[in-house]
Structure 1
Amino acid sequence: MGNREDLMAGAKRCLYEKGYGRTTARDVATASGVSLAAIGYHFGSKDALLNAAMIEAIGEMGLALGAVVNAANEATGDPEERFVAVWEGLKGVFEEHRGLWAAQFEALAQAAHAPELAHALARAQKEGRLGLAALFQGLPEVPETEDELARGAFYQALLAGSVAQWLAAPELAPSGRDFLRGLRLVAAGVPEPAAR
């Protein structure tokens, strides 16, 4: 690997181990075995490096999410059982990537004071919505339509809420069956649109 790749690997390791807000440029340089000056040369700033590392790490974590969904799709053809299996399987992804999930929440809290970070997260959010819409439907990709963005936003909200609850108290986080029951209860309370 070159210095740039070493810096990305070190920054990702720091995000997992120290979080977004507590990672210093020196931490990244030490973790990557590269000089402090290399951060500025390759990325311009520590913040730009951490933002790039976070986006790349989220993409890598997306592969783990995809594996859970694919396993659920292969295990059963029943949509309800598949839904439950996905949300149960995601707990393993939460555990494996706990540091990155926590770092994302830290980054969200700092985005209001960091325009570069806010821009990077907004860009990733739209891509994430379309990715989740495709993933949960078992498709390689979906078109950028209002319906697919809405579907993705729903899954994104479920995922973020589930992770937040799991980070706070894993033993109290909802199960896949809890999610299915909640979805049914909410859907039952939403009237069908009037015919046009």
Structure 2
Amino acid sequence: MGHREELLAGAQECLHDKGWGRTSARDVVAASGTNLASIGYHFGSKDALLAAALVASTAQCAEAVDQALTDDTPAAPAADPLDRFERTWERVVERVARDERMTTATVEALAQAPRVPQVRSALAAAADLTREDLALTFHATGDDEERTRVLGAFYQSLLLGTLVQWAVDPSAAPTGRDLAEALRMIVDDSTS
């Protein structure tokens, strides 16, 4: 592994342990086993390095969530859409609960997006793909772009809200069953 990769790994470690605002260049150097000059040479600045580390961390998060979304058991597909919703969100929430680093990195990236253009553009690009993936996980919407966008945005809001709740208070964060039950309540209330 070269200095660039070591710096990225060290920066990811620091972001998890200390957060953006409390991480110094010296912290990254200590975590990566490199030197201060390497930060400037490979990234230009500490902030550019931290932005790259956040982008890498959120990409890992997206991969983990995508795996949870697509890891359905083909032998027992749920006939009821709400049952399928519940099973899928149970996997997603379990993945979020299992990987505190992933959750922390995503919430940190969301907090930095308004101030760091590199993070904002990476999240925006990922959001487009995530919305479509989420919509297609639950609905056959590929031919209707507006339907895909609206449904994907709904599921993305659930995902990001769940990540934030897990970051703030894991004991009060919703489970997949909670999310499905809430949706059942909404449907029941609308038909009553």
The bucket for the TM-score relative to the shorter chain is 0.7 to 0.9
Structure 2 residue matching 1:72: 3-state secondary structure: coil
* Matching residue of 1:171: 171
Please, which of 89, 92, 95 is the counterpart of residue 94 of structure 2? Answer: 92
Q: Structure 1 regions of 5+ residues with no counterpart?
A: 192-196
Contact 1:86 1:176 in 2 (8 A): yes
Q: 1:2: Cα distance to partner?
A: 1.2
* Matching residue of 1:194: none
Counterpart residue type for residue 42 of structure 1: H
* Matching residue of 1:105: 107
Q: 1:14: Cα distance to partner?
A: 1.8
Alpha carbon RMSD of aligned pairs, Å? 2.9
Say if 1:16 and 1:89 are closer, same or farther in 2 by CA, change over 3 A.
same
Q: 1:129: Cα distance to partner?
A: 2.6
CA distance in 1, matches of 2:70, 2:59: 16
Counterpart residue type for residue 107 of structure 2: F
Alignment of 1:1-196 (within 5 A): 1-74=1-74, 76-78=76-78, 79-134=81-136, 136-137=137-138, 145-187=145-187
CA distance in 1, matches of 2:139, 2:53: 27
Aligned residues: 188
Structure 1 residue matching 2:22: 3-state secondary structure: coil
Instruction: Tell me which moved more, 158-167 or 119-128.
Output: 119-128
Stretches (4+) displaced over 6 A: none
Write out per-residue CA displacement over residues 79-106 of structure 1, whole angstroms, 9 at most, x where no aligned residue: 3322112222223322333234234334
Q: 1:47: Cα distance to partner?
A: 1.4
Write out per-residue CA displacement over residues 17-76 of structure 1, whole angstroms, 9 at most, x where no aligned residue: 222222221111111111111111111111111111111121122222122223335363
TM-score of the pair, normalised by structure 1 = 0.78
Counterpart residue type for residue 92 of structure 2: L
Percent identity over paired residues = 42
Say if 1:101 and 1:20 are closer, same or farther in 2 by CA, change over 3 A.
farther
CA distance in 2, matches of 1:48, 1:68: 30
TM-score of the pair, normalised by structure 2 = 0.79
Q: Structure 2 regions of 5+ residues with no counterpart?
A: none
